Amino acid sequence: MTTPSIGVLAVQGDVREHRAALEAAGARTVAVRRPDELATLDGLVLPGGESTTIDKLTRTFGLRDPLRARIADGLPVYGSCAGMILLADRIVDGHPDQQTLGGLDLTVRRNAFGRQVDSYETDLEVTGVDGGPVRAVFIRAPWVEQAGPQVEVLATVGAKGADRPVVVRQGRLLATSFHPEVTGDARVHRLFVEMVRAAA
């Protein structure tokens, strides 16, 4: 596979920034708003945004079940921030009717770092990403409370007295608590593009 076709779920969130980062990392991108657009993808990104809104809109647009089916079928998927919440099997502090797409054997805490005013940036060493630390931008971000035995933790950050997993991988699924798409550094997206190529 020379140029993989990677969709970005485009119902809400920072779609444009993810598409730019993926294209810088060597992929062709598609904005995904309809179920039939999922059929021909080699990979998919679930962007940051508001996880409850994205959840509701995927159900409204008839995307929820097709998304769950493609994830279960082994489609490589990368979720950032809200996307991590959508990929997690379990949520703490979610809305009562909030659902996830699942796939990652994780319990994540929604808005774990606090509200918008508690947003911050730091440099993180991420396993599998060469070239020095990654600038991590946390905006109302989740963290991983509990990870199953198949989940590989690629980076942690010290917060509230403990090391919190903020980059995880399980098979063909990748998730970050932060927003690499807003920094102009495409290395996390390059890691995902390589995962997509390997899956093909």
| Binding site feature residues | 49-51, 110, 139-140
Identify the active-site residue in 17, 145, 179, 189: 179
Q: Between the CA of residue 164 and those of 34, 145, 177, what are the distances in Å?
A: 35, 7, 10
Q: Active site includes 95?
A: no
- Residue 180 CA to residue 174 CA, distance in Å, equals 13
Q: Active site includes 181?
A: yes
Which stretch of DSSP H or E encloses residue 90? Answer: strand 88-92
Identify the active-site residue in 17, 18, 145, 181: 181
- Asked if residue 57 lies in contact with residue 20, where contact means CB atoms within 8 angstroms, the answer is no
- Asked if residue 87 lies in contact with residue 173, where contact means CB atoms within 8 angstroms, the answer is yes
Identify the active-site residue in 18, 81, 145, 189: 81
Q: Active site includes 125?
A: no
Q: Annotated binding site for L-glutamine: which residue ranges?
A: 49-51, 110, 139-140
Residues annotated as catalytic are 81, 179, 181
